[in-house]
Amino acid sequence: MFIRLPAKRMRHTCLNNARSAGVLLCFIVSILLTGCASRPALLESTYQTLPSHVELKDVPFHPQVEYQCGPAALAMVLNYQGVNADVERLIPQVFIPGRDGSVQPEMLATARRYERIAFPIRGTLDSLLTHLAGGDPVVVMQNLSLPAWPMWHYAVAIGYDLSNETLILRSGEIKRHMLSFSRFDATWARTERWGFVIAPPGEVPAGISPKRAVDAISAYEALHGASAALPSWKALTKRQPDNAMGFFALSNAYYVLGQVNDAREALIQATHTNHELGVAWLNLGLLLQVQGHSAKAQQALEKAAQLPGPWQERAASALQSL
């Protein structure tokens, strides 16, 4: 009965060789290419609200051998959360031989297989530092060469020093690699500043955008089911009370689990949060109709029928059956 919005496929960038920075040449090339990099501008609030120095020293270190920086980086953040995942077991799940590396969707999907939700972060240095200050190591992707001759690399950001404007990374064969903000950002920008944090079900890190949070939990639910995802939907609506799609997704999870009254209340919250969310009005009307609340169902369905979108036809049909 319910209308569920399909999760969009993640965009594939051409990541054809996520190589290790452990090779000395990689670092030499990186230094040469970023020596004149401009200093990335940080928000004034970043300096005012974040600690001047953060280092997550308990993040394990796995040296990254050639072409296997993806599995090693993922193992570090999983191990940090107490997940028993070693590099050798991760290699066949993440590493794609034909591409000599690991692509972004496989990194996120593998984290989900280990019952962790992978949340892509906002692509700003301020966001990266904020996650580190919140205790979350961040898997970052860099291009250590030119865009026309990419040398892809995954590292794990574990800390920073604002006074010296340096980032601390687990990278390549270096456990504590210090890199200036400007040099790091130059290599990070070539991957559209892509990175992610992981969290167990029931936790949503601060600073994740509403859409990315919904997409991440939806992907987890597709793999593990509504019952496993329900704590995360609850956490998301608590963390982001203005996220109408979060309430809409929460209602779907409740409905699948047979908690119809809870589903109805979540839909009411979704429509209150966003009066223009037609699919929420449609589901609310259908649910109220089944529960015998004809007058309220008619109001909700009329609202859905007035809003442009694919739900209009279904709403009109439901109104005729009232």
What's the pTM? 0.86
b/e map 121-154, b = 16+ CB within 10 Å: beebbbbbbbbbbeebbbbbbbbbbeeeebbbbb
Per-residue pLDDT of the chain (322 residues; tens, 9 = 90+): 556 654 443 333 333 333 333 333 334 444 444 444 566 779 999 999 999 999 999 999 999 876 689 999 999 999 999 999 999 999 888 876 655 456 899 999 999 999 999 999 999 999 999 999 999 999 999 999 877 788 889 999 999 999 999 999 999 999 999 999 999 999 999 999 999 999 999 999 999 999 999 999 999 999 999 999 999 999 999 999 999 999 999 999 999 999 999 999 999 999 999 999 999 999 999 999 999 999 999 999 999 999 999 999 999 999 998 8
| Sign of the dihedral through C-alpha 247, 248, 250, 255 | positive
Look at residue 3 in the predicted model and tell me its pLDDT: 60
Nearest-10 crossing angle of helices 311-321, 294-306: 150
| Cα 278 to Cα 281: distance, rounded to the nearest angstrom | 5
- CA-based nearest residue to 70, from 35, 97, 34, 37: 97
Q: 44-199 has which fold? A: Cathepsin B; Chain A (3.90.70)
Domain extent listing, the chain: 44-199, 210-321
| Cα 209 to Cα 137: distance, rounded to the nearest angstrom | 18
| Cα 147 to Cα 275: distance, rounded to the nearest angstrom | 44
Give the DSSP H/E element, type plus range, for residue 185.
helix 181-189
Which residue in this structure is represented by tokens 């209602």?
Answer: 251
Look at residue 15 in the predicted model and tell me its pLDDT: 35
Domain covering 210-321 assigned CATH 1.25.40.10 in the classification: yes
